[in-house]
Structure formats: C-alpha cells, structure tokens
C-alpha cells in the first residue's frame, strides 16, 4: 500500500513539473546483454578463475540526449575496463549510429570483478605477458567482437524508435556505504587493508559518499535515471563460488531496484573508485543487494525531490555538449622500461547536460582526485566517470605515492603530473561551459547571481548578505 501511495505521489508531482514548462530534452536509450558464456575466464583477480555459473546478466546501458542542436551519448558497461583502442572503436560505432560526434560519446565501465577479460589486458608489454601468460589470448577477442556487435545492434534498434521528450533534473545525496581501503599510519605509511580484513574497521581514509543522479521525467513520472557513486564493484565477489559467478555486482541491483520501484530504466556510472570499496566488499550477493539498493534509494530521494520542487532540481536550459582534451605525462622509470618510451598521452572527456557535467578519466582514479576535480568545476554538479578514456593503472595524487601502498605501486605516470590531469579536466569543463552557454557568463565566475542573494542560516532566522546593502 505504501509503495502505491509513493508511486502515485511521484506520478502526480511529475505531471505537474512536466506541464509547468522547464526546458525539455529529447532522449532515447538502449540496453544490451553483454554477458560472456559460462566457462569464460573471470577478470577480477587471478588469471585462471573460470566462471562456473551466472548470477545475472552483464548489461550495456546507453542513453542518447538531443537538445535540438547537439547530441551526446552516455554508455555504461558491466566490464572491469577497456583500453583506449576499444573505447575509440565504440565511440566510432555509436557516433555513426546516433549522429553524435565521437567526442560526445562517453563510454565508462562499472568495474565489476565478475566479468570477462576485456581488451585492457592485451599483451602489450613484457610485464603483462608475465602476468597473463597462462591466460589463453589474454583478452578474449572473440568476446570483444561480440561486444561491439551487440552494442551496435542495440543502438540501431534504439534509433529506429521515436524520440521522447522529457524534463531533465539532477540531485545529490550521500550514501555512506563506501570506505577507503587504504589504512595509513600516523607517519604516512599505507597498508592495503583489502587483504587485511581485521583492519577494515580501523580505516578512516577519505571517501566520496555522493550519489549523483540525473533524472528524465516524463508526463507520467520518471522515465530514465542515471546514478553515479564510487566503490569497487567486487561486493559480490565472495571467496569460492562468489568469485566464479558472472555478475554485475551492486550496479545491477541498483538498476533493478530503480526499475522495480519507479518503473524507470536506469544506468549506473561508476565514480572515482580507485581506493574505495563497499563496507561489506567480498561478502556476496546479499551484501551487493543491500549496497545497490541503498544507493538506489538516494536516487529515488532525488526523484521525489525533483517531482515536488522542480524549480530547484529541473534543469531550465538543458543544452548538451562535450569536449575531449589530451594531456601528456612522463612515465615512471619502471614503466618507461616496460613501454620503451618516456611519456604517454591520455584523454580527459567532459560531457555536459545543462548544469551537470560528467568527467571521463583514464584508469582507476582514486577518490581524492575525483573530489579535487569536483571542487574545481564550474558546473553546479560534477560526476566522475571511471575508466572512461582508457586504462593506465591506478591514478593517485603525489602524497599517496609518498605513503605507498597498492595503488601507488600501480601508478604509471609521474606523480607530479597528476595535477596536470586535474587542471586539464578544469580547462575542459570551462571550455565546455562557455561553449554550451555562450551568452550566460560574461563574468569570469559562473553563476554570478548566486553571489548576491540573502544568506539563510536556520529556519525562521535571517542574516543579510554583505552584498545586499
């Protein structure tokens, strides 16, 4: 009964918001089953983990948005990661099918540890050959060809349908089901406590609990939801059988809960999860279900908030656009020896939906850097897309390199150059915001109106802004 009442309230609120006239956007979406066959190698940990069962489907989720002038495409894959060549190929395919520019196609991975070996593990270096020499073919290239084909077919079916028209909104709320897996001592020495469960409760490292939500609201209620949150998707990867089942992990539970409770389709985009795990990681499917649904509830909170207060949460001018900016970094000595070159070029991608920006980054970026990018963004809300422009190991700030630990050992480019990635992201976002809102900001600071309203401290209390006199 309670669920029916909530659903009715959401529908009524949505109808009012839709009719009231915020800017609307056209949208289409697709889903494709990208599960490997049982018997495929599982890419989460060892090179010899052979899947023996499938818990649920791995899914490719795609959303195409059209503001009447520009188009962007968001894609999330239940895969551990893809290399740059694979992402570029998917961008080309989806650009050709949807009419969006290649730079406006954002492809990210949920980083499930219960999926197949993908092309991030091609044998390109001597080190990777040593690590994966027992893995036939390393990357499952037959699987990769099937992946491209299934995504292209699903996107073509999507484009054959009619565009829907929606009010688009956004919301942010915390979900404290993630934790930093690094335990750092008082003298700044890090230990990888993922392999020391007894230390889990001692961890006090930085986390990013933000659940970012983008909502497409139709006249009958929510139609599509994009959720963004940061934690390694290995909650279902329990010892023994749990690590040998094909599974989408908690992102799958997120999508299914949104669908079952609101009727909307959903996509999950992984955030800056390089050093974040869920509080019950590797406990199995019950833990993954609890986490996925806890995150989904915060997105439903966003749907309720938008439906009842659309003037705050609906995007009034939902223009879309995208920018890709390269940055070059020196490689660390060990990786210079492996690759036979001194430097490498990586991409940062920014995709905007009105006041919201998704920033696609290479590799497994830690949450500290994700927060740094968010704090240096000119958009009202900024959400990080994990493993979105290729694979380059873990990406950490300099002080994490000083502390050491697992992530630091995998960091491939010079730690002093990490700030270059952050600055590149900021430059890309500033360029993008000026591009899609050329007439909005004449001042160097965006949202100038927000500098002048009165400051409200507590309900029933008022303090005048110093600018209001």
pLDDT per position as a tens digit, 259-302: 999 999 999 999 999 999 999 899 999 999 999 999 999 999 99
State the pLDDT at residue 454: 56
Q: Alpha-carbon distance 324 to 203, whole Å?
A: 36
Token output for 32: 């494709």
State the pLDDT at residue 232: 96
The pLDDT tens digits for 439-450 are 775 556 666 666
Identify the CA nearest to 168 among candidates 75, 31, 29, 297. 29
Domain range for residue 197? 2-451
For residue 460, is it within any domain?
no
Q: Alpha-carbon distance 170 to 7, whole Å?
A: 19
Cα–Cα separations (whole angstroms), residue 15 to 8, 226, 372, 393: 11, 20, 38, 46
For residue 310, is it within any domain?
yes
The single residue listed with the structure tokens 């833990």 is 287
State the pLDDT at residue 455: 54
Residue 149 contacts by C-beta under 8 Å, 6 or more apart in sequence?
none
| pLDDT confidence tier of residue 351, bands split at 50, 70 and 90 | very high
> Rounded mean pLDDT of the chain?
86
The SS3 call for residue 173 is strand
Q: Are 98 and 71 in contact (CB under 8 A)?
A: yes
The angle formed by the CA atoms of residues 445, 451 and 456, to the nearest 5 degrees, is 150
For residue 359, is it within any domain?
yes
For residue 467, is it within any domain?
no
Token output for 279: 């509080």
Mean pLDDT for 36-64 is: 89
The SS3 call for residue 373 is helix
For residue 147, is it within any domain?
yes
Identify the CA nearest to 183 among candidates 348, 404, 343, 15. 404
For residue 257, is it within any domain?
yes
Q: Are 103 and 324 in contact (CB under 8 A)?
A: yes
State the pLDDT at residue 409: 84
Q: Alpha-carbon distance 276 to 294, whole Å?
A: 16
For residue 461, is it within any domain?
no
For residue 183, is it within any domain?
yes
Mean pLDDT for 105-133 is: 66
| pLDDT confidence tier of residue 3, bands split at 50, 70 and 90 | low
Q: How many domains in the chain?
A: 1
Q: Alpha-carbon distance 210 to 150, whole Å?
A: 32
Q: Alpha-carbon distance 52 to 54, whole Å?
A: 7
CB-CB neighbours of 101 under 10 Å: 16
- Count of residues for the chain? 469
Q: Are 59 and 52 in contact (CB under 8 A)?
A: no
Q: Alpha-carbon distance 24 to 22, whole Å?
A: 6
Q: Alpha-carbon distance 23 to 21, whole Å?
A: 6
Phi-psi region of 76 (alpha: psi -120 to 50; beta: other; left: phi over 0): beta
Residue 367 contacts by C-beta under 8 Å, 6 or more apart in sequence?
180, 206, 207, 208, 230, 271, 272, 273, 274, 275, 276
| pLDDT confidence tier of residue 137, bands split at 50, 70 and 90 | very low
N- to C-terminal Cα distance for the chain?
A: 52
């Amino acid at each position: 009964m309670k669920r029916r009442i909530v659903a009715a309230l959401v529908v009524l609120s949505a109808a009012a918001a839709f009719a009231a006239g915020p800017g609307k956007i056209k949208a289409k979406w697709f889903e494709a089953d990208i599960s490997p066959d049982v018997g495929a190698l599982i890419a989460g940990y060892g090179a010899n983990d052979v899947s023996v069962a499938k818990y649920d489907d791995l899914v490719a989720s795609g959303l195409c948005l059209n503001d009447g002038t520009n188009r962007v495409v968001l894609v999330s894959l239940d895969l551990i990661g893809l290399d740059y060549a694979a992402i570029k190929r998917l961008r080309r395919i989806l650009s050709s099918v949807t009419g969006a520019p290649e730079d406006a196609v954002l492809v990210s991975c949920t980083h499930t540890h219960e999926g197949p070996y993908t092309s991030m593990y091609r044998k390109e270096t001597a080190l990777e050959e040593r690590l994966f020499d027992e893995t036939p073919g390393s990357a499952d290239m037959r699987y990769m060809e099937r992946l491209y084909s299934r995504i292209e077919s699903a996107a073509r079916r999507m484009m054959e349908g009619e565009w829907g028209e929606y009010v688009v909104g956004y919301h942010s709320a915390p979900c404290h089901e993630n934790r930093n897996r690094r335990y750092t001592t008082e003298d700044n020495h890090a230990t990888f406590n993922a392999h020391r469960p007894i230390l889990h409760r001692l961890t006090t490292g930085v986390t990013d609990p933000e659940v970012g939500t983008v909502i497409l609201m139709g006249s009958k209620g929510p139609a599509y939801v994009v959720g963004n949150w940061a934690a390694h998707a290995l909650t279902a990867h329990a010892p023994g059988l749990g690590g040998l089942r094909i599974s989408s992990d908690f992102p799958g539970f997120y999508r299914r809960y949104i669908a079952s409770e609101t009727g909307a389709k959903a996509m999950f985009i992984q955030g800056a999860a390089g050093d974040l795990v869920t509080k019950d990681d590797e406990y199995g499917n019950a833990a993954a279900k609890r986490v996925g649904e806890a995150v989904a509830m915060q997105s439903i909170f966003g749907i309720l908030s938008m439906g009842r207060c659309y003037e705050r949460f609906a995007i009034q001018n939902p223009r879309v656009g995208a920018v890709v900016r390269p940055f070059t970094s020196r490689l660390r000595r060990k990786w210079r020896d492996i690759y036979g070159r001194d430097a490498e070029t990586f991409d940062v991608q920014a995709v905007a939906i009105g006041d919201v920006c998704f920033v696609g980054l290479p590799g497994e970026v830690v949450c500290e850097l994700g927060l740094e990018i968010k704090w240096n963004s000119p958009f009202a809300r900024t959400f990080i897309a994990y493993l979105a422009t290729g694979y380059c190991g873990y990406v950490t700030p300099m002080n994490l390199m000083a502390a050491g630990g697992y992530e630091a050992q995998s960091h491939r480019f010079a730690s002093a150059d990490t700030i270059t990635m952050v600055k590149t992201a900021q430059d890309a976002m500033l360029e993008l915001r000026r591009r899609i809102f050329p007439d909005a900001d004449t001042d160097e600071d965006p949202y100038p109106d927000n500098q002048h309203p009165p400051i409200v401290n507590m309900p029933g209390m008022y303090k005048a802004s110093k600018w209001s006199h």
